[in-house]
A and B are shown apart, each in its own frame.
Chain A
Amino acid sequence: MSDRAAKPGTRRASPAAAFRHGVLDILPVLAAAAPIGLLWGTLAAARGFSPFQAWLTSATVFAGASQFVAVDMWRDPVPFVLIVFTTFVVNLRHLLMGASLQRHLDRFTGPGRLLAMFLLTDESWAFAERKALSEALRPAYYFGVASAMWLVWTSASLAGAMAGRSLGNPAAYGFDFAFSAMFIAILAGFWKGRRTAAVLAASAVGAALAKLALSGAWYIIVGGLAGVVVAALLHRDDEAAT
Chain B
Amino acid sequence: MSDDLPTVATILAMAAATYLTRVGGLYLMRGVNVKGRLKAALDALPPAVLMALIAPTVLTTGPAETVAAAITASAAILRLPMIAVVAIGVGTVVALRAVL
Contact = CB atoms under 8 A, between A and B. Distances in A.
Given A50-B1, A183-B53, A196 B47 contact: yes
Contacts of B4: 50, 53
Interface string A6-41: 000000000000000000000000011001100100
A180 B89 CA distance: 8
A175 interface: yes
B99 interface: no
Given A227-B51, A228-B41, A63 B29 contact: no
A33 B78 CA distance: 19
A96 B93 contact: no
Interface in A196-230: 196, 199-200, 202-208, 211-212, 219-230
Interface residues of A, number: 95
Interface centre among B9, B14, B15, B35 (most CB of A within 10 A): B14
Q: Describe B's contact surface by its main secondary structure.
A: helix
B54 to A, nearest CB: 5
Size category, B interface: 35 or more
Contacts of B85: 181-182, 184-185
A89 interface: yes
Contacts of B24: 94-95, 98
Interface string B1-20: 10110111111111101111
A86 to B, nearest CB: 9
Interface of B: 1, 3-4, 6-15, 17-26, 28-29, 34-60, 65, 68-69, 72-73, 75-77, 79, 81-83, 85-86, 88-91, 93-94, 97
Given A178-B86, A235-B41, 11 more contacts: A78-B10, A91-B21, A95-B21, A99-B26, A100-B25, A175-B90, A182-B82, A200-B48, A206-B52, A224-B48, A241-B39
Q: Which 6 A-B pairs have the closest CB atoms?
A: A98-B25, A227-B48, A223-B52, A181-B89, A231-B44, A60-B15
